[in-house]
Chain A
Amino acid sequence: MISVGARAAAGRRRAARRPKPIDTGQFRTIISPLQLNSRWGRRVYWAVLVTVVVTFTLAFVFPLYWMITGAMKTGEEIAQMPPTLFPADPTLDAYAEAWNLFDLGTLLWNTAYYSLGGWVFCMLVDVSAAYALSRLRPMFGGVILGAMLATLMIPAMVVLIPLYVTVVDLGLLNNPWGLWFPAAANGFNIFLLKRFFDSIPRELIEAARIDGAGAFRVLWSVVLPVSRPILGVVSIFTIVTSFKDFVWPLLVMTDSDKMTLSVGLSQTAGMVTQNAVMGGLVVASIPTIIVFFVFQRHIMAGLTAGSIKG
């Protein structure tokens, strides 16, 4: 016990000499603040911190750097061995080339149209369904919700083939509704929305009822305004998921002028030079990275909220 006290005192003296002890904040984790601020604790801590930051940057940022600079190299430079760390003569030619070869303008427009259209339809369908199940409580509501949630248990790859057969039967190939209808049948969205609607205080809704508001009016003027956080999370996830989707659009949108960005890139990638491929990939990544920058907190909150209790 004496030695611990002595070490603590030594730590304190050293902390006084050094201007900045490691601020542990209000968290207490596996390693105690005392241990962390001991002489060895500090050394190990800084060593680990630097290693982790360097490793993460190399593992997750460097590949993207390689992609962006790869697209700025000439066709010869990108095939050169050993490769250059910086493009010798950075040009944007590969981006222009990628734009023309992949017809990126059309692909981007298609993808944006499918994602945003699908988002509007999905929100209309899922919000009204969740509202009905949560607030209007129809007969068999529980059974319906259960059947909707049960679809989450069925592996996506397994449903792919019968779903494709269904869409072919309905003649929805190369029709955006072939993407939008299946995307709207999303049990997880309905579950998240319903759970949020359930938590809205009764008094709020009763007050609107007494003022003579009908079911639609209550949804529009009371429920939706207070549900902005969950609507935001569900919207972001719906748009990002449909933007990233690959296998389903590959099957449904087969005409080259109706393809999505992901599918278009995959179909043409084998036929063009490596720097043009990288140019196409950079263009495809930019929208998702921007969305991530802007909505980072919503996305991370939604991720943990959805998966832990889902």
Chain B
Amino acid sequence: MAVLRRNLTAYGFLCAALFCFAVFAWYPMIREFILSFQETNLIDPPTWVGLDNFEYAVGYPGFTEAWIATLQFTFLALVCGFAVPFVVALVLNELRHARAYLRFVVYLPVMLPPIVAVLLFRWFFDPGPGLFNQLLGLVNLPGLAWLDSPATALISLVIVSTWMNMGSATLIYLAALQNIPPELYEAAELDGAGILKRIRHVTIPQTRLILLLMLMLQIVATMQVFIEPYMLTGGGPAGSTVTVAYMMFQFAFTNQNYGVAGALGMMLMIVLLVFAAFQLRLTREDKA
């Protein structure tokens, strides 16, 4: 009886969460699977079409380009968004003054609503009176077309993305650096290791796990990039910034073709799950 009562109380407390998860988290995961094998516009009754959605998506002009753009964006965003915060954290950790100010300032853009960052930078990127070209003009450099040229559009998106996201990675690395036992540095110094060698043989091995974890997290986050192309370029110029997530959104909400969007989503999910699984293994290792 006692066991039964305890379970009844427990499920009483759990029922609201079970409802939310079942309807708004678990069911959509199954629905995604179903959706990708159906043709549906939410108005006419859905029909089963087998693998047609996948074939259509793969054969769609711009499919390969969207994956290339996504991979390019991810690569560039990692070069900036992965390396820069680590270097910044290394430097910040050495400073003995203005620490609170610097930490506050680097995290400030993370707190802003993304739409603020994006619209602000849209103005900065304006080839005429925009801030960036005016600054380039100050040092007598020719202005760039930024978002209006296929050559620079993707880089411009990476700049916005890095500006608004790097704060959290920096603070996480900073916390990891502060956990390194000082004796290791002292020992390395006694052995005659210079600054670069101390970074190479003490700092990096000591933060290896968190670095790898953040790498996986950032790959998964940046491969889903959507707000930046949606608000800044609309996929252009000449389709150079159509990412997979953006293409998926277009299929679903512009063309009302939820099946093909679902198929694209499945492909994106399979790619991302590989990284997520790797991340999970690292987390386990971290706890052990």
Contacts and interface: CB of A to CB of B under 8 A. Distances in A.
B248 A181 contact: no
Interface string A48-60: 1100110011011
B245 interface: yes
Nearest to A26: B182
B16 A124 contact: yes
B58 interface: no
A136 B177 CA distance: 38
A20 to B, nearest CB: 11
B52 interface: no
Contacts of B276: 153, 155
A190 B142 CA distance: 53
Interface stretch (A8-16, A29-37, A88-96, A225-233): A29-37
B261 A308 contact: no
A285 B280 contact: no
Contact of A52 (B18, B102, B286): B102
In the A-B complex, list the 5 residue pairs whose CB atoms are closest, starting with the nearest: A28-B182, A138-B10, A129-B17, A136-B10, A132-B13
Interface stretch (B73-81, B113-121, B146-154): B113-121
5 contacts: A28-B185, A63-B131, A136-B10, A162-B35, A307-B217
Interface string B90-107: 111111111001111111
Sorting the interface of chain A by its residue count into under 10, 10 to 19, 20 to 34 or 35 or more gives 35 or more
A36 B185 CA distance: 14
Contacts of B101: 53
Interface residues of B, number: 105
Contacts of B139: none
A24 B96 contact: yes
B49 interface: no
Contacts of B57: none
Contact of B245 (A30, A49, A157): A157
A129 B18 CA distance: 8
B51 interface: no
A300 B172 CA distance: 9
B79 to A, nearest CB: 17
A132 B42 CA distance: 38
Given A215-B9, A240-B111, A308 B172 contact: yes
A168 B103 CA distance: 42
A243 interface: yes
Interface in B54-90: 90
A184 B20 contact: yes
B47 interface: no
Nearest to A182: B24
A30 B115 contact: no
B28 A166 contact: yes
Nearest to B266: A158
Contacts of B27: 166
A159 B28 contact: yes
A165 B123 contact: no
Interface in A120-172: 124-126, 128-129, 131-133, 136-139, 141, 144, 147-148, 151, 153-168, 170
Contacts of A30: 90, 93-94, 185, 195, 198-199, 202-203
A274 interface: yes
Nearest to B193: A30
Interface in B126-157: 128-129, 131, 134, 137-138
A161 B35 contact: yes
A165 B42 contact: yes
Given A63-B124, A240-B111, A162 B280 contact: no
A25 B96 CA distance: 8
B168 A158 contact: no
B129 A155 contact: no
B114 A128 contact: no
